[in-house]
Amino acid sequence: MFEPAAHLNVDYRNFYRGRAVMITGGLGFIGSNLARQLVDLGADVLLVDSLIPDYGGNLFNIDGIAERVRVNVADIRQQTTMNYLVQGRDVIFSLAGQVSHIDSMRDPYTDLDINCRSQLTVLEACRNFNAKVKIVFAGTRQVYGRPDSLPVDETQLVRPTDVNGINKAAGEYYHLVYNNVFGVRGCSLRLTNVYGPRQLLKHNRQGFIGWFIRLAIEGRTIQIYGDGSQQRDFVYVDDAADAFLRAGASDACNGEVFNVGGDQPITHRDLTSMLIRIAGSGSVEYVPWPAESKAIDIGSFYADSTKFKTTTGWRPTVALEEGLRRTIAFYREHWCEYVDPGSRAERP
């Protein structure tokens, strides 16, 4: 269905040597891990982050590379600021956003402001001050809502079940319109469940996998809604970062949306068993669904990433068990940087 592009023979990693790159949300989970790969490739890296509490930005995330990047603490909703920052950048990785589904339902206006208006702010800045830039937008599998069939490919309808999914879909389509109408090259990666070092652990509103990892390390009880039969696929953060690198270096991606997911789905039941075994601590409890979560639940979901694999040559390389081992080891070494000392049940 998808013909391999000729550019697959080009070393996409060499593309970034000397390139001026900007990452919005650059002090966050995926942004900071992407920054680490970019500095190793010799890129000129600018990180833009608002450091809004509870959104995941953490200065410790650039520990060890702080001298090799430039940081601008700024809100991407500020047009004049973005007009200045986008100038001279070759590639922008658009990772800033509000990602909590529950928060989006409780405060839809903030979600609208951050996930829609702010994306237009960046795109307008590029259209007017740097129209030659390439933008890679961090989309989400949440735009699909409850899938019609599994695995989910890009031909399935966009039918979100929550405000966050609606606004992320709108943000994605803004990028496609600016690509198609204004020539500001852009594409979107619809990420599934990304996990790994430097993820926010202070609360449970930004994806369940980070919270499950924290509870296992602390030796606490992981609560699973329902019977644990629901399936998900997971992508280790280094593999997700590699997907962004490939998309940013490839004009074959322009104007397209791509799923970026794991190769093998796993049930919540099997996931927690694996996690508890690797951590050597923790337990699991099955509980009824809370009403506000059940109302926006999408059931089982795992993605078909064939389109992106064929277009760019990307493959996930870190298996779930190995990724969880690396993640747990990282947090045990740097626990106090990610969890407030007074908030945990016991020292890991």
Q: Where are the domains of the chain?
A: 14-196+235-260, 208-231+264-302+318-341
173: left (phi over 0), alpha (psi -120 to 50) or beta: alpha
pLDDT in tens, 91-138: 999 998 776 667 778 888 888 878 888 999 999 999 999 999 999 999
Dump pLDDT digits (tens) for 249-265.
999 999 999 999 999 99
> In the structure, what pLDDT confidence band is assigned to residue 302 with cuts at 50, 70 and 90?
very high
Q: How many CB atoms sit inside 10 A of residue 3's CB?
A: 8
Token output for 274: 């694996």
Strand, coil or helix: 39: helix
Q: Is the pLDDT of residue 6 over 60?
A: no
Amino acid letter, residue 316: P
**Model pLDDT, residue 294:** 76
The count of other CB atoms within 10 Å of the CB of residue 155 is 8
User: CATH 3.40.50.1820: does it fit domain 208-231+264-302+318-341?
Assistant: no
The answer for residues whose C-beta is within 8 angstroms of residue 109's C-beta and 6 or more apart is none
Q: Between the CA atoms of 25, 143, 100 and 275, what dihedral angle is there, to the nearest 10 degrees?
A: -90
Tell me how far the alpha carbon of residue 108 is from its chain's centroid.
Answer: 20
| Cα-based angle 87, 88, 94 (whole degrees, multiple of 5) | 70
Q: Work out the angle at residue 264's Cα, subtended by the Cα atoms of residues 261 and 269, and round it to the nearest 5 degrees.
A: 110
Least confident interval from 16-30, 52-66, 222-236: 52-66
Q: For position 3, what pLDDT does the model report?
A: 39
Q: Which of 208, 176, 257, 8 is nearest to 102 (CA)?
A: 208
User: Predicted confidence band at 298 (pLDDT cuts at 50, 70, 90)?
Assistant: confident
β-bridge pairing 185-191 and 134-140: parallel
Tokens of 161: 């079940």
Q: Does position 342 have pLDDT exceeding 80, yes or no?
A: no
**Encoding tokens for residue 91?**
């590639």
Alpha carbon dihedral 199, 163, 122, 252, in 10-degree steps, equals: 80
Q: What pLDDT is attached to residue 152? A: 97
Residue 194 has pLDDT above 70, yes or no: yes
Q: Tally the residues of the chain.
A: 348
Tens of pLDDT, residue by residue over 159-183, are 998 888 888 999 999 999 999 999 9
On whether the 14-196+235-260 domain is CATH 3.40.50.720, my answer is: yes
Identify the CA nearest to 38 among candidates 23, 28, 25: 23
